[in-house]
Amino acid sequence: MEKNIVKIVLTGGPAAGKTTLISRILKEFKQDEGWRVITIPETATDLISGFGIKPFGNCMSMLEFQDYVVADQLHKERLALQAAQVVPEPNVLIVYDRALLDDKAYITDAEFEQVIAKFGLTTETAMAKYDAVIHLVTCAKGAEFAYNLGNAARTESLDAAVEMDDKTLRAWSSHPNLKIVDNAVDFEKKIRRAMREIFRVVGRPEPMDKKHKYLIAMPDMNKLVVNRGAVPFEMTQNYLVITNPRIERRIRKQKNGSEYLYFYTEKHLMEDGTMWDTERPISAKAYESYLLEAEPELQPVHKVKYRFNDKRQRFEIDVYPFSRERAVMFAYAGADEAEVVPPPEIEILREVTGDPEYKNKTLARLQRL
């Protein structure tokens, strides 16, 4: 069977949201639904932190450093394409955390051509390797208050972040499928806009805008699996002890086919009362380490999430082990939908959108619906 392989580059200046977007991609594109996500990490960071190869500290020039970066990038990309052919899933999404043209932001155009020519490439052939490029604009442009939320160790100044964002955008500006996602809206909407562009590239229906939350009578989930194609995903969420009164921390384990994915999330309370979430994938080892910081007064929230589509609307039903008679349903509708119309198998008890009694943190404390 011929594979459907889609290659998307995530780029942008510092603190743009790439890590959170990768987490969202891993959440949305499931093995159970025929997808495999292969992520290629940022090469320069790997070389500096893992090998000590760096373009400063009397180690080497930036131009010499790019030889190492391009060689490593091309090696990873070849491995990713080989892996895409051997994994069992028919659809493969390869996500690049920066890629070849990002290197152009650190040297002159002539120097970049000189480096990639050693590997038999030109700017045009390098561009052609990728189906789409999503440029996430740095928070330093229009969302300065959030610049350091996701990385306390960030060293670039706001001005340096803006300059690097401009150079990176210029480097990719001639790609025929470049999408720019700016900071004109809040961070969650920014991530949803980026996801919408990714869904368009891969040819899947775009995520819906309107979200409602309902308390429902427990439906026959087996019938929903058979009749509606509902796909179940096991999840466990733990809240961590508070180390900063304005930051809520949590971790999540999520089954993905026969494997598990792990995520670390921070929810920041801003001065104006709004919330700003950052999330990143973590390793199983890091997840186990974070479990040692679990809030002792809150129990883990275990659930099975069932996801399905019906009449242009998307539904998710969360089933908890502590409730046999009730469940929680999320309904997502398009902006032009007048109301949510659930399938007849669903009995809505009441809408609980925004009700703090049905937030996961409350459920972690009460363990009841």
CA 290 from chain centre, in angstroms, equals 20
Average pLDDT over residues 308-329: 91
Average pLDDT over residues 211-216: 93
Give the model's pLDDT for residue 153. 45
Give the model's pLDDT for residue 364. 94
Compute CA distances 189 → 184, 196, 208, 343, whole Å.
9, 10, 12, 28
Give the model's pLDDT for residue 203. 87
Give the model's pLDDT for residue 144. 66
DSSP reduced 3-state for 228: helix
Tell me the C-alpha distance between 334 and 321, whole Å: 31
Average pLDDT over residues 287-316: 92
Q: Are 267 and 277 in contact (CB under 8 A)?
A: yes
pTM: 0.78
HSE, side-chain direction, 13 A CA sphere, residue 292: 4
Q: Are 124 and 112 in contact (CB under 8 A)?
A: no
Q: How do residues 260-298 score in pLDDT, each as one tens digit?
A: 999 999 988 877 667 778 888 899 999 999 999 999 999
Average pLDDT over residues 8-14: 93
DSSP reduced 3-state for 292: coil
Going by pLDDT thresholds of 50, 70 and 90, the confidence category of residue 1 is low
Is the pLDDT score of 213 beyond 60? yes
- Residue 256: φ, ψ to 5°: -135, 95
Cβ neighbours around 160 below 10 Å, total: 14
Between strands 210-217 and 326-333, the pairing is: antiparallel
Opening angle at CA 82, ends 79 and 84, nearest 5: 110
Give the model's pLDDT for residue 156. 67
Query: Please, where are the H alpha helices in 252-359?
Result: 284-291
Q: Which of 297, 294, 261 is nearest to 280 (CA)?
A: 261
- % of the chain at pLDDT higher than 90: 60
DSSP bridge partners of 268 = 247, 276
Give the model's pLDDT for residue 119. 96
* Lowest mean pLDDT segment, chosen from 3-7, 202-206, 284-288: 202-206
Domains and CATH numbers, the chain: 4-202 (3.40.50.300), 210-238+281-366 (2.40.320.10)
Average pLDDT over residues 325-334: 88
Average pLDDT over residues 307-316: 85
Residue that the structure tokens 């990728």 belong to: 130
Q: What is the mean pLDDT of the chain?
A: 88
Q: How do residues 143-182 score in pLDDT, each as one tens digit?
A: 666 656 555 545 567 788 888 989 999 999 989 899 999 9
